Chain A
């Protein structure tokens, strides 16, 4: 296993896409923090690091599937997966080593963005009092989410021997899940009531006003189901973390859900990969 990890990390070190994403995320962090500071200054408002610090959570929902597909797919397209099997490495070890390597890459992408944001943000804005603990908790949740996301996409990349197909499927699934998660978040964000105003059609004057219940507001079991998927789906977590926590219930729940996804993905992925005929 150590041998495989050493080989996979050596391969990661010379992977162009990995460096492109790492540098890209770093520059993205700098760009977001700078533009946010300039914009806030124009409106004479205070700029806060937390307003842009977690944007990477949604960004990696697209980058991770692409990276995992390309990094793992190369093993199939170049045929080098065979070298590992021929000399007697077990499939479980190959799967785990690849997963660990991709997880590390995903975390490095997150970290690059955070570093980029902080090196501009701390000198310009500082960190608000009392927010540090919340920031650390959300960052840790985002790391768990990133690992869960990687584990999920590793299943497809390790079991589909066509690199291009695996990349397309992974990205499509990711985009589809993002759309679902944004939809869920919008449904959950609907206010319970809203103010209704009646105008005189001739004069335009307000005749009466009152609080009316919102028919789109989710209640009862339906709301619980939506809330569950909002917290459970890695893309749901990503969208919520991007919005400084959004509508998530408890951070520890995110960590539990991420752990469930990681474990389930590893078990399912390994079971399929062990039975797979490699060409």
Chain B
């Protein structure tokens, strides 16, 4: 797989506190990578390291295949944009002036693209209004516009929906999906709002106490979280024959237990199995949300904060 960002054994210590400890991550090109972890888990620390705001204590990461210790890393950073914690914008300027300032920093020769960029994030009608009078959602969108100024391939968003109202959350989601699908921008989105992330992400990384606990694709996660019927029968061989005939997906777990991944007519199944001499001992519905998957992964309600 083609990875845009990877890290191995990455550590960042603040005096005696280990914000990241032996951390690893693999962000595929074109993905919307949901970076999940509770407050203080190390999400923002990783983002600060990747953005060059801080240096790792040990270990390294690669951006577009270039190690952070190589001088070329600064050139690689020109292909990325980021909104770290709060949007980085001059509060005393207008949205347009902020973008002009970013264009100058990047060295873009013309400001012709600015109206399109403002339109893309829905800020085309802000006129001479100063950013300090913007709502939080507008500031977030301007932050994204600034991050998009250099046509980046990778966009890093730290808690992009934090503090947004429901309408703002929907707009932010649509914007991210649009940029991912139309411009093929890879996203690394850190969040602890799991429900929102589950609507966007194609890949997930679960971080806890500075460690990457698990990396998983959305398909794998869906399979892992898929609702199923756990059935306990006297003979799973007969059960498998019946389910094959009914063209139903299942998974045999033991001699007596199986998971069925479909909505079935229980009366029909019971009768068919009875006719073939197989008894149903128990039947329970099972299912796992992203939230419960995450909680199971990091050890439930345990907290070290």
Interface residues of A (CB under 8 A from B): 2-4, 6-7, 10-11, 14, 16, 74, 78-90, 275, 277-279
Contacts and interface: CB of A to CB of B under 8 A. Distances in A.
A278 B91 CA distance: 19
B73 to A, nearest CB: 8
B89 A88 contact: no
B300 interface: no
A3 B106 contact: yes
Contacts of A82: 51, 53, 82, 84, 88
30 contacts: A3-B105, A3-B107, A4-B105, A7-B101, A10-B101, A74-B90, A78-B88, A78-B89, A78-B90, A79-B88, A79-B89, A80-B101, A82-B53, A82-B84, A82-B88, A83-B88, A86-B77, A86-B80, A86-B81, A86-B82, A86-B84, A86-B147, A87-B77, A88-B75, A88-B76, A88-B77, A275-B55, A277-B54, A279-B48, A279-B53
A90 B74 contact: yes
Of the candidates A7, A78, A87, the one having the most CB atoms from chain B within 10 angstroms of its own CB is A87
Contacts of A10: 100-101, 104
B78 interface: yes
B76 A89 contact: no
B51 A11 contact: no
Contact of B90 (A2, A4, A11): A11
A81 B74 CA distance: 15
Contacts of A6: 104
Contacts of A74: 90
B91 A78 contact: yes
Interface string B269-295: 000000000000000000000000000
A192 to B, nearest CB: 56
B146 A14 contact: no
A275 B107 CA distance: 26
A6 B106 CA distance: 10
A130 B104 CA distance: 47
A278 B105 contact: no
B164 interface: no
A14 B106 contact: no
Nearest to B49: A277
B107 A278 contact: no
Given A79-B87, A85-B51, 4 more contacts: A3-B107, A81-B88, A88-B76, A278-B53
Contacts of B75: 88
Shortest Cβ-Cβ A-B pairs, 8 listed? A88-B77, A88-B74, A79-B88, A7-B104, A3-B107, A278-B53, A277-B54, A7-B105
Nearest to B76: A88
A85 B53 contact: yes
Nearest to B104: A7
Contacts of B150: 87
A191 B99 CA distance: 62
A80 to B, nearest CB: 5
A3 B104 contact: yes
Contact of B78 (A16, A87, A90, A279): A87
Interface in B53-93: 53-55, 73-78, 80-82, 84-93
A42 B91 CA distance: 51
B52 interface: yes
Contacts of A16: 92
Interface string B79-123: 011101111111111000100111011110000000000000000
A77 to B, nearest CB: 8
B56 to A, nearest CB: 11
A148 to B, nearest CB: 28
B129 to A, nearest CB: 15
Contacts of B100: 10
Nearest to B131: A78
